[in-house]
A and B are shown apart, each in its own frame.
Chain A
Amino acid sequence: MSELRFTEDHEWLRAEADGSVTVGITAFAQNALGDVVFVQLPELQAYDKGAEASTVESVKAASGVYMPLDGDVLEVNPALEDSPELVNEDPMGAGWFFRFKPADADAVAKLLDQDAYDRLIKANAEA
């Protein structure tokens, strides 16, 4: 498994061997959201960076999941349709959201690494 990258919106990204990138939300994000009851997954199409590609609904509220980079969505996680709770139970694994092909293959490496993301979480906790 390759090294993970993160966004300030609490998504994780993992570069796959075929050049695609898998996206999910972090353990921190799922904990903050609470019990996930529904995930509206993206369409298989191109999205601009920052577009609200997906929506995650917890018992409390709806939250947007944003496209981390420009790219084409290739696949969504079909398991979330019937088992949205996977986002809580295994956010970094079985609870993945979608896989996309980034327009710029080098852009992924420029996102936050684990250390930078951990610092962000720590700063949030102290704010």
Chain B
Amino acid sequence: MSTETLLKTPLHALHLELGARMVPFAGYDMPVQYPLGVMKEHLHTRDQAGLFDVSHMGQIRLTGANAAKALETLVPVDIIDLPVGMQRYAMFTNEQGGILDDLMVANLGNDELFLVVNAACKDQDLAHLRQHIGELCQIEPLFEERALLALQGPAAVKVLARLAPEVIKMTFMQFAPLRLLGVECYVSRSGYTGEDGFEISVPAASAESLARSLLAETEVEAIGLGARDSLRLEAGLCLYGHDMNTETTPIEASLLWAISKVRRADGARAGGFPGADRIFTQQQTGVSRKRVGLLPQERTPVREGAEIVDEHDTVIGTVCSGGFGPSLGGPLAMGYLDMAFTALDSEVSALVRGKKVPLRVSKMPFVPQRYYRG
């Protein structure tokens, strides 16, 4: 694909100015790294603060008295009782219980919900919403209208507080409309790095000036998609299309925690989302495979797609994400494994270029999450 056919975020010119190396990602021309390089960008984010352009992601507003109830028919998550000013992780499931996408849902109050979905899935998600709940609430894609910035790292709060002191009081997963540089933004205390930080939805026309003013702060560096991936992997967070897809259920993906208690088989609003029967059956009778953390016992990175074998060379799973963790100081991976091998500290091997690399089943996150919970 030539770069002419790729979409650009409102920060595209700024990325080029900053010397970013651009790559095609989900149909967009995106910065994979800046001159600092993936390793230093990653470490800087954990040490101070990093600014990420995630404007390729899809922002969608649902409006209407029945919006929460309607959305609940598509996700196994409690949306009806999501408090105003809070955000929650969710996933769209299909009739087989497979995952169509994962997303964040925030309650803006006034019968408004604010969704952030994955870039590669946003058109399909929008069609899915319109098809199933289009009659029940107003669905408004904000794909062109709004940009999304993530400011992540231990210094993020100090930096953002210079523009809006209110953010100091926010806790993990809180969501608030705030004025930044005189512009109405939506700010959530969340992210995809395992660090404290914020995601900021800003009108597209104001995105560059906001990004420039955040980058002007001494603590902040621009961070590309390369470090975004290594940061999320160390934090044990799933990447849609890799660590889960339509062929994996939330149970197999080890995302049972994300299914709200009230929506589970014994909950007050049990089921009522696509694939509920299969998911409940799996929860009760177990699954044949699930997603686990894997630590290579050598320095060789083990990448997505590598087969996992037992001591008899029988294939027992596949690596879904893998690479090198700069903060961990070594390689790390996630993979789907037959249940018999999923116990913590189980020893298996991955096949890398015809050689067996020993792996140990490990708990996740690989590095401690440092969310601010008040």
Which residues of B are found within 8 Å of A38, using beta-carbon distances? Answer: 299-301, 324, 331
Tell me if B331 and A34 are in contact (CB < 8 A). no
Which residues on the A side are within 8 Å of B38 (C-beta)? 34-35, 58-60
In the complex, which residues 168-204 of chain B have their Cβ closer than 8 Å to any Cβ of chain A? none
Q: How near does chain A come to B44, taking the closest CB pair, in angstroms?
A: 13
Tell me, in angstroms, the Cα distance from A81 to B269 when the chains sit together. Answer: 56
B323 and A59 within 8 A (CB): yes
Q: Is the interface of B mostly helix, strand, loop or mixed?
A: mixed
Interface pair B324/A59, CB less than 8 Å apart: yes
Q: Does chain B have a CB within 8 A of A87?
A: no
B37 within 8 A of A: yes
Question: Which residues of the partner chain A approach B326 to less than 8 Å between Cβ atoms?
Answer: 35, 59
Q: B226 to A34, Cβ gap below 8 A?
A: yes
Task: Chain B residues near A34: list those with CB within 8 A.
Answer: 33, 37-39, 226
**Closest A residue by C-beta to B353:** A55
Cα–Cα distance between A60 and B225 once the two chains are bound (Å) = 10
Known: A59-B226, A59-B230. A37 touches B324 (CB 8 A): yes
Partner of A40, one of B33, B300, B331: B300
Inter-chain residue pair count (beta carbon < 8 A): 43
| Chain A residue contacts of B230, Cβ below 8 A | 59
A62 within 8 A of B: yes
With a cutoff of 8 Å between Cβ atoms, the chain B residues found around residue A113 in the complex are none
Q: In the assembled complex, which residues on chain B have CB atoms less than 8 Å from the CB atom of A61?
A: 303
Q: Which residues of B contact A37 (CB under 8 A)?
A: 39, 299, 301, 324, 331
Residues on A with beta carbons closer than 8 Å to the beta carbon of B42: 59
Nearest CB on B from A21, distance (A)? 24
| A48 vs B37: C-alpha distance when bound (angstroms) | 34
**Which of B301, B303, B331: most chain A CB closer than 10 A?**
B301
Inter-chain contacts of A60 with B (CB < 8 A): 32, 38, 226, 323
Q: Does A57 count as interface, using CB distance less than 8 angstroms?
A: yes
Chain B positions 204-237 with a Cβ under 8 Å from a chain A Cβ? 226, 230
Q: Which of B37, B299, B303, B331 contacts A35 (CB 8 A)?
A: B37
Contacts of B37 in A (CB 8 A): 34-35
Interface residues of B (CB under 8 A from A): 32-33, 37-39, 42, 226, 230, 299-301, 303, 323-324, 326, 331, 353
Given contacts A34-B33, A34-B39, A84-B299, 9 further A-B contacts (CB under 8 A): A34-B37, A34-B226, A35-B37, A37-B301, A57-B301, A58-B38, A59-B230, A60-B32, A81-B299
Report the 7 A-B pairs with minimum CB-CB distance, sorted nearest first. A35-B39, A37-B324, A59-B38, A57-B301, A38-B299, A59-B324, A35-B37
The contact sample of 19 A-B pairs, CB cut-off 8 A, is A34-B33, A34-B38, A35-B37, A35-B38, A35-B39, A35-B326, A37-B301, A38-B324, A57-B301, A59-B39, A59-B226, A59-B323, A59-B324, A59-B326, A60-B226, A60-B323, A61-B303, A62-B301, A81-B299
